């Protein structure tokens, strides 16, 4: 059986190519946001706004000969004021491979949001935001598998509109940083879930990171992200949990993250997926 790395490099995503090009042609320098330095988390929303474009790719091994789940996300952010106010749009995709139902690669529901820091000091930041997820999914097997993985459930429910208020607290001191996120997902027109028009989910988690001073021309951060998604209104409520240890390197213009995904939680998730891997690339335009 091919190693996880070889499988990942054979994915549909072009991220490995972007990574190589970026490292070769883009000069790196340490990137500091307004206020405390908090490295970009992998799947949790950042408390800061930086004008950039982002792309990620994930490979998740599935149980019961179901093949692999491939997930991608493309995102663009615009910083409106000193990294403390911004808007963004994100477009998710999901697909399945190497199984009897392979061949589907589906767009998900598109998220449009904005956020603002209400407190920002040299050591702490508190940010509030709101996202509207509009129904655009093509709802094939790729979307079905992404819903089963549960982490991005609301982005792959057909015809559902989702309201997402959220808050982020971040703190840092020297090379150490921490952030905690909490959001509520209010799904409207969600009849396809369990027949009810409205469903509720809670998403929460945090990231601890260390960015040591190294003799390198770019910052290197080591992160451990833990996040969970819990249904609050299902007949049989589900919680999907995910531990994501990884590394982020980069500077003012380019940031690259990579790591592992370890799912846990309810049987619906833990019996469905094994350990996976991810990589992301962020191109920044300004500080």
Tokens of 55: 């792309």
* Residue with token string 């990620």: 56
Per-residue pLDDT, 266: 96
Per-residue pLDDT, 17: 46
| CB 177 within 8 Å of CB 170 | yes
**Using CA atoms, how far apart are residues 13 and 203, in angstroms rounded to an integer?**
27
Per-residue pLDDT, 203: 98
Per-residue pLDDT, 44: 98
Per-residue pLDDT, 191: 92
Per-residue pLDDT, 9: 40
Half-sphere exposure of 72 (CA within 13 A, CB side): 17
Per-residue pLDDT, 103: 60
Tokens of 103: 């061949």
**Using CA atoms, how far apart are residues 71 and 13, in angstroms rounded to an integer?**
9
Domain that holds residue 83: 4-284
| CB 281 within 8 Å of CB 56 | yes
For 218, residues 6+ apart whose C-beta sits below 8 A from its C-beta are: 28, 29, 30, 249, 250, 251
**Using CA atoms, how far apart are residues 249 and 241, in angstroms rounded to an integer?**
25
Q: pLDDT 10s per residue in the chain (287 long)?
A: 334 444 444 444 444 444 444 444 344 333 344 567 899 999 999 999 999 999 999 999 999 888 899 999 999 999 999 999 999 999 999 998 765 455 678 999 999 999 999 999 999 999 999 999 999 999 898 999 999 999 999 999 999 999 999 999 999 999 999 999 999 999 999 998 988 899 999 999 999 999 998 887 788 999 999 999 999 999 999 999 999 999 999 877 899 999 999 999 999 999 999 999 999 999 998 76
CATH of residue 69 = 2.40.160.40
pTM of the model: 0.87
Cα Rg of the chain (Å, integer): 18
Domain tally for the chain? 1
Per-residue pLDDT, 97: 75
């Amino acid at each position: 059986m091919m190693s996880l790395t070889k499988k990942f490099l054979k994915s549909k995503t072009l991220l490995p190519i972007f990574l190589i090009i970026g490292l070769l042609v883009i000069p790196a320098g340490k990137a500091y946001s307004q206020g405390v330095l908090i490295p970009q988390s992998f799947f949790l929303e950042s408390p800061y706004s930086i004008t950039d474009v982002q792309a990620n790719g994930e490979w998740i091994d599935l149980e019961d000969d179901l093949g692999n789940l491939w997930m991608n996300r493309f995102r663009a952010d615009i910083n409106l004021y000193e990294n403390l106010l911004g808007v963004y749009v994100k477009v998710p995709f999901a697909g399945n491979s190497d199984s009897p139902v392979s061949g589907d690669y589906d767009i998900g529901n598109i998220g449009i949001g904005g956020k603002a820091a209400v407190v920002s000091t040299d050591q702490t930041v508190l940010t509030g935001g709101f996202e509207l997820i509009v129904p655009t999914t093509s709802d094939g097997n790729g979307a079905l598998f992404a819903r089963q993985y549960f982490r991005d459930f609301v982005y792959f429910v057909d015809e559902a509109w989702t309201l997402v208020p959220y808050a982020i607290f971040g703190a840092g001191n020297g090379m150490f940083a921490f952030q905690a996120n909490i959001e509520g997902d209010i799904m409207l027109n969600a009849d396809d879930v369990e027949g009810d028009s409205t469903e509720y989910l809670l998403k929460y988690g945090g990231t601890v990171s260390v960015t040591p001073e190294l003799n390198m021309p770019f910052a290197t951060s080591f992160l451990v992200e833990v996040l969970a998604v819990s249904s609050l209104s299902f007949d049989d409520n589900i919680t999907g949990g995910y531990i994501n240890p990884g590394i982020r390197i980069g500077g003012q213009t380019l940031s690259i993250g990579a790591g592992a995904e370890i799912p846990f939680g309810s049987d619906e998730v833990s019996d469905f997926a094994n350990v996976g891997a991810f990589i992301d690339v962020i191109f920044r335009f300004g500080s």
